[in-house]
Structure 1
Amino acid sequence: MLRAVVTGNVWSTKRIEGLPNGAFLELVTENGGAHLVAFDVLGTGIGEHVLVAQGSVAAAWFPGTPPPVDALVIGSIDQPPAAKPTRAAKSVAPSTAKAKTNPE
């Protein structure tokens, strides 16, 4: 399973029989940045973060004889991951606390 972002629609007015209502979407994977086209029956839109199943698992979702689909949007991620902190944000600021002295 992959995490991806929907970047566009792929318009296809002619397609094979057996595909349910849905759309072909252009996606970019979150980690590797690979581009792929996936079939979507959920109605997700551009900019949404989605989960994608690939290979025979994607094709097995379709009833009857599976169509030649090797990527299927199976979920829309409600909260995409927060941006990873940059190196500068990870550095610790110098302590502003004053050293305590031991009165004797």
Structure 2
Amino acid sequence: MLRANVIGNVWSSRRVDGLPSGAFLEVQVVGTRTRLIAFDTLGSGPGEQVLITQGAPAAGWFGDVRPPIDALVIGSIDERLNSA
């Protein structure tokens, strides 16, 4: 799982049949220069911090359909608590 900042939306006029409702977001992994395109069903937007899963768990979340998705937003970070 990765923590990332949403840095923008990716607009697409055409999509592969079978993709569920959602949006593509460009995210940057916190603490790195790594950027990914992640599929989002939560309605996240630029400036938000999110949790990302990749690979088989990302595609597997959709059940038997298995769309060609390699990165999926699985949570929105509201607050980061420091352990003391």
> Normalising by the residue count of structure 1, what TM-score does the alignment of the two structures yield?
0.74
Runs of at least 5 residues in structure 1 that lack an aligned partner in the other structure: 83-104
State the superposition RMSD in angstroms. Answer: 1.5
1:43 equivalent in structure 2: 43
Change (3 A) 1:25 1:13: same
1:76 equivalent in structure 2: 76
Q: How does 1:1-104 map to 2 (within 5 A)?
A: 1-80=1-80
Residues of 2 paired with 1:16 and 1:60: CA distance? 17
Q: Could you list the structure 1 runs, at least 4 aligned residues long, displaced by more than 3 angstroms after superposition.
A: none
Q: Shift of the alpha carbon at 1:13?
A: 1.8
State the percentage of identical aligned residues.
57
Q: Secondary structure at the match of 1:64?
A: helix
The letter for the 2-side match of 1:3 is R
Q: Secondary structure at the match of 1:39?
A: strand
Structure with the bigger RCO (C-alpha within 8 Å, sep 6+) is 2
Q: Shift of the alpha carbon at 1:39?
A: 0.1
The letter for the 2-side match of 1:6 is V
Aligned residues: 82
